[in-house]
Structure 1
Amino acid sequence: MSDTPFRPFDTLLDREAALASLHAATRGADDGEIFLERRRAEALSFDDGRLRTASYDASEGFGLRAVRGEVTGYAHSSEVNEAALARAVETARLAVGAGGGTLAAGPAATNTRLYTDADPIAGAGFPVKIDTLRDIDAFARDLDPRVVQVTASLAASCQEVVILRPDGQELRDTRPMTRLTVSVIVEQDGRREQGSAGGGGRLGMGGLIAPAEWQAKTREALRIALVNLRAADAPAGVMDVVLGPGWPGILLHEAIGHGLEGDFNRKGSSAFAGLMGQRIAAPGVTVLDDGTIPDRRGSLTFDDEGTPSGRNVLIEDGILVGYMQDRQNARLMGVAPTGNGRRESYAHAPMPRMTNTYMLGGDASPGDLVSGMKDGIYAVGFGGGQVDITNGKFVFSCTEAYRVRNGKIGAPVKGATLIGDGATALQKIRGLGNDMTLDPGMGTCGKQGQWVPVGVGQPSVLIGGLTVGGSAA
């Protein structure tokens, strides 16, 4: 891969020939485009005192799409040349058939820049990255003699995209991404527990490998591990739960966010289908999906169809007011696209996906939310979970949680799981903190086999009567 800017119409394809091919593919169609991509990615992992893995991947290719009604014809190739493009046209035409549609107007242009276009992989030399990981390992072990294992990883990627639309519109974007993750295992009296922390975004590498940054993340990973080292078994039963700010918004993302994506609602498979304009959450609950926040992991200058990202209100004061839309579903539902058409790579067709999804804060102090609980759980961190997107039923495991009795945060608990469904949980929200926070930049979302980076966020949230799964009575 070259370090020169990705300009496929200067080096790989004749632009006018490519546009003619796109016209042939979309004749009689409603929409379509050629999506060209070049991507570089690097990942290093330091585990138990040594460099375990170091990888570098480079790829490029194109995807050609033709859309007619609910049908999509899509072909892709890692060879970017006119012969591959001609074969893709034949495949895409199978979906359009005789056709009879009218091409939709292209997206509006934007001059907004939400992040740097510098390649983060080149932001620090390979030896510097290895030394940083080694320093993290040594620092964590020096912090506490109970540390028995440290895993640290650095990842960086640079995605360059060019979108050519049938009207000749050409859009370009360079999308950087970096991430640092630290995991610590501690042992005392034969018991082992783990804590993890990290973060990143559409940023250069320099900020992540600054000592102040990785030291803070290492201390946080150790803090969580030590909390879990003294945790008792979690209780089980129906009880009030306060979710902490920031990363616990992953529950909002999974249990509610997917149900507000346009395709599920157009097909009637979402728990929120047909409820536009109706109350689906407690008063005061406002949820947004916002791809315009600078440097955030889920942000995009424009989506993978060329639509500029937006700050889209989904739930306003408890009322459902919007869905996240790509161009196809928006057209079929008679609404405007919202900048949520996303794809994992050139090998995938776009679909409605979240960017940065979060709940706005309220006016309560986090302490007041907890003080009103007689017996419950204060859940600060989450790990894995399972969600049925069609009905919002979820099971999430807590990585850091505390028992609350008579308004006081008590001992930490382990093995707690939160069980419920998104639609009901929205209605049971009884309080919103004034501490809305976005996550540190670690989220990746899967849908129909495609994975894309996302962000989440929320304030402290009091939910009445969630089912808590645990091992203690």
Structure 2
Amino acid sequence: MSDTDFRPLEDRISPETAVSLLREATAGADDGELFFERRRSEALVFDDGRVKTASYDASEGFGLRAVRGDVTGYAHSSEISEAALRRATGTARLAVGDGGGTWAEAPRATNRRLYTDADPIAGVSFPVKLDTLREIDAFARALDPRVVQVSATIAASIQEIEILRPDGVHLRDVRPMTRVNVSVILDQDGRREGGTAGGGGRVGLDGLLDPEDWQAKTREALRIAAVNLQAVPAPAGVMDVVLGPGWPGILLHEAIGHGLEGDFNRKGTSAFAGLMGQQIAAPGVTVLDDGTIPDRRGSISIDDEGTPSGKTVLIEDGILVGYMQDRQNARLMGVAPTGNGRRESYAHAPMPRMTNTYMLGGDTDPADIVADLKDGIYAVGFGGGQVDITNGKFVFSCTEAYRVQNGKIGAPVKGATLIGDGATALKKIRGIGNDMALDPGMGNCGKAGQWVPVGVGQPTLMIGGLTVGGSAT
């Protein structure tokens, strides 16, 4: 589908017809909405000295939802027409059945805009994007003769959503997203190691394609690769671990963030279910989910149900004080929605999801935290990880980590994995740095087969007694 195939929504279905069919679908329900989406995305990949991928995608569609109690009826279509909407109405009604529900109050209105509505794809010409990719490749190779491969990516997208409710509320949001990534591989005496750096947000491409920005990313990718060339096998055993600021917050996101989403706690399947008001973390630990930070990757002016995004305190000074909620789970738990109802696309029903989840900083100098580490690991970069929501157990692989002995940072290590469980790790935090930072804008979060962009952050932290899986004995 080309961009010229898109037509305004009112050209396909009259607002009066859409509202009428939506009311028919949600008769007797507690809640529901019609979610329209139009999305365009572009990705350019320059790999090994040539353009490897140049893709452009355009899609649109709608999702119709009717909610009654804990039951959801959902139908979606990539065809936006009255006929398709009538078919969806019949499907969604199957879950609602007969009888009368108590209709939920509509989301409150907001005029807040957290990011531009300009199309980042059109903001920079195609030749400029290609020239920038070539410049990144040449710059990386000129920095270090050991560079044997460079991969650079420029990605941009624009998502336009409209939410129509049976009570006549009509909401709209336009969400840009951009990102630049650089990966390099170094070869030294037959040993090859790689490094990756990147980031972006809900901003135009102009700033990301400024040489000062992409050169910094390229140098960082090269630095990580050079560190990994010197890495020795990681030790194994139970030891104290210091986590660096920023991106290591991904461990916080996975290990406890999902466990504080409303649906898992309503159903009692979270390791934190039933613990509201109790001490679940060390004193001084305060964790928030904040979708209101301007231009951030995880930010949303409104969520995918129309609720304005919020700044929700989850843990305050070690005490569990809040969960992240969509409309359905909030209603069933007798609390207010927090603006965390998110969906991957029109083809998915919303559910409670994180936005930008981070821990506030403390008052300790990060250098003092490292100096207090007698024998352990200092981890500043993470790759993939996984967590079991029911018990909070996690496994994370480190992409950049160092051995620390007697407070001195030693050789970099490779093959280190951190193993533990979120509930225990929270209570073993000691030492919270004054250097809280957010990640550079590269996070995606998966849940129930749906992926959404997110942000993470934290200060330097020391966690006692994590299991480190390594390759050394």
Distance in 2 (alpha carbons) for counterparts of 1:398 and 1:412: 11
Aligned to 2:166: 166
**Cα distance, 1:463–1:6 mapped onto 2, change above 3 Å:** farther
1:250-277, Cα deviation, whole Å (9 max, x unpaired):
0000010000000000000000000000
Shift of 1:7: 4.0
Could you say which residue in structure 2 is the equivalent of 1:179?
179
Contact 1:6 1:38 in 2 (8 A): no
3-state SS of paired residue (2:29): coil
| Aligned residue number for residue 103 of structure 1 | 103
8 Å CA contact retained: 2:43, 2:154 = yes
* Structure 1 position 385, deviation (Å): 1.2
After superposition, the Cα gap between the structure-2 partners of 1:115 and 1:5, relative to the gap in structure 1 and judged at 3 Å, is: farther
What is the alpha-carbon distance in structure 1 between the residues aligned to residue 335 and residue 386 of structure 2?
31
2:247 paired residue number: 247
* In structure 2, C-alpha distance between the alignment counterparts of 1:243 and 1:36, rounded to whole Å: 41
Q: Say if 2:138 is the partner of 1:138.
A: yes
Indicate the SS of the match to 1:167.
coil
Aligned ranges 1:228-307 → 2 under 5 Å: 228-307=228-307
| TM-score computed with the length of structure 1 as normaliser | 0.99
Deviates more, 1:106-115 or 1:383-392: 383-392
Deviations 1:196-231 (A, max 9, x none): 000000000101111000000000000000000001
Residue in 2 that maps onto 1:337 = 337
Q: Residue type matched to 1:312 in 2?
A: T
1:121 and 2:121 aligned: yes
Query: What's the Cα RMSD here?
Result: 1.0
Task: Please give the residue correspondences for 1:309-458 in structure 2 after superposition, counting only pairs within 5 Å.
Answer: 309-458=309-458
Report the alpha carbon displacement of residue 99 of structure 1 after superposing the two structures with TM: 2.9
Measure the CA separation in 1 of the matches of 2:5 and 2:376.
56
Amino acid at match of 2:208: L
Q: Judging changes above 3 Å, is the alpha-carbon distance between structure 1 residues 248 and 108 closer, same or farther for their aligned structure 2 residues?
A: same
Which amino acid in structure 1 is aligned with residue 276 of structure 2?
A: M
TM-score (norm 2): 0.99
Are 2:28 and 2:99, in contact at CA under 8 Å, matched by a contact in 1? yes
Inter-CA distance 423–6: structure 2 relative to 1 (3 Å threshold)? farther
What SS class does the counterpart of residue 440 from structure 2 fall into? Answer: coil
Mapped partners of 2:100, 2:50: distance in 1 = 61
Cα deviation, residue 123, structure 1: 1.1
Distance in 2, matches of 1:313 and 1:406, equals: 36
Asked whether the equivalents of residues 159 and 175 of structure 2 are also in contact (C-alpha less than 8 Å), the reply is yes
Q: Report SS of the residue matched to 1:106.
A: coil
- Say whether 1:65 aligns with 2:65: yes
Task: Within 5 Å, give how 1:19-34 maps onto structure 2.
Answer: 19-34=19-34
Name the structure 2 match of 1:8. Answer: 9
CA contact (8 A) 2:3 2:58 kept: no
Separation in 2 of the partners of 1:317 and 1:290? 17
Residue 152 of structure 2 aligns with which residue?
Answer: 152
Cα distance in 2 for residues equivalent to 1:391 and 1:5:
46
State the distance in 1 between where 2:401 and 2:230 align: 12
Counterpart of 1:459, as a letter, is P
- Counterpart secondary structure, 1:257: helix
Quote the offset at 1:4 in angstroms.
11
Measured after TM superposition, the shift of residue 386 of structure 1 is 1.7
CA contact (8 A) 1:371 1:407 kept: yes
| Distance apart, 1:391 and its partner CA | 1.5
Corresponding residue for residue 53 of structure 2? 53
Partner-residue secondary structure (3-state), 2:138: helix
Q: CA deviation at 1:373?
A: 1.1
* CA distance, structure 2, for counterparts of residue 213 and residue 389 of structure 1: 37
Specify every segment of 5 or more residues in structure 1 that has no aligned partner in the other structure, as ranges: none
1:109–1:3 CA distance, 2 compared to 1 (3 A): farther
Mapping for residues 177-216 of structure 1, pairs under 5 Å: 177-216=177-216
Q: Select between 121-130 and 292-301 the one with higher mean Cα deviation.
A: 121-130
Matches of 1:71 and 1:329, distance apart in 2: 11
In structure 1, C-alpha distance between the alignment counterparts of 2:4 and 2:218, rounded to whole Å: 33
Q: CA deviation at 1:295?
A: 0.1
Gaps of 5+ in 2: none
Residues paired across the two proteins, number: 472
Quick one: distance in 1 between partners of 2:374 and 2:156? Answer: 46
Letter matched to residue 8 of structure 1: L
